[in-house]
Structure 1
């Protein structure tokens, strides 16, 4: 079978294979891991319905069910953290600058209308199936949408992801996104959670954020909005000092914007086709994982 354009290379497969699950519960073994993962990546890149997967990936339902199972039990998240840990051990994570930003993904009509599972039934199936009551869908003038908030390192790869309804603001999500940065250290010790420097646009500037960043000893470069600058000047000495701002450092904020472009080259990320709020984040996680495997 010839390799497709989106298939894993031999080097990427070597980095990924050691972190994949080895069995499926009571007896039995997972089969055709590489073929199934390539099928998931093909659907990620093209955005086609699962039923339309080419036959070279095997049964479409096997590919779909494995992606859904690994989304439900957190397998994709664990694999991403493990690959990030490998990269950090090899010195391939650029902690010198981490940037935060967000992007809106339009949701197809098929992504709406998920049934709300009764509490007892959801408990039997999975805790992950009930972690979002609103399914991370928002309605605005443009229709249904989901917003991806992320923190990206200098090598154009995501360190943390968070999904909200599309109409939610950026500033309230900065702290939750930063709190999700946890890169394990295989040699021992606490996971690394603190970047050396943080960058963001004006939407992330508020009085609460600098206090949080100072408490965590994170240097930051975030432009001050005009209304905050005018208010500070109006209050005189009570308004405090102006925030430190370095234009040369701020220029690196384009890194997170380029990262978003890379993620949204995958049609299943640029447009949300997944109905459940615990499946679509894993779709974005798989796109992030591919970036970590490639570099």
Structure 2
């Protein structure tokens, strides 16, 4: 059956197994037992020692390790008693943190999966706009001023149509009169955000405008355009892999949430205009 080969199905099965494991090692209890056992095992001690070593660049002494263990027991007792009292309820910080940890648990599954190159290649082809290199433009510009009148614009256009030297038309400015083939980032850093998007709408080889920049208005002639391209997977495999994992983690998190939500009967009030 083809659906069994889908990566998302595999992730969901892994997710179910992980949540089942957490449920098994820490099952919810309907009644709190006042004599609950608190067990600190060798793994807990190793974790405490590792954290201490990472912070202090040395192993803890026996006395320090004992204080760490005592602190862990104290924390566990206080956390359990706080839960018995329901202190975590209604606390937005605790609720947000618990929800965040559940999300992290789900998303960590995707981070551990290494897809085949065929899967990444298909993802690349399905999402070309995420990885396509931006187009480049070579152009000339004539600065008309911050807010030129229609007469000024028409005079500049007429002069160019009559064969005037573009260098002698318009107002003086520190902006470059021409730019070689340049990517959108370089163009926008010079003329202001969004200027390159306007260039993409202009014809090649003819003066057009006025075109608005962060400095005013311009007449622009596009001399050359280098379209954006979709590089082969081998050129930036790590980038595609990172994006694939991010998207897969989001899909898995949503699928896992819907699976969990199906276990609840959710009642919501009718939402009307707020007073």
User: Could you say which structure has the higher helix fraction?
Assistant: 2
Q: State the TM-score, normalizing by the size of structure 2.
A: 0.20
- CA radius of gyration, larger in: 2
Q: State the TM-score, normalizing by the size of structure 1.
A: 0.19
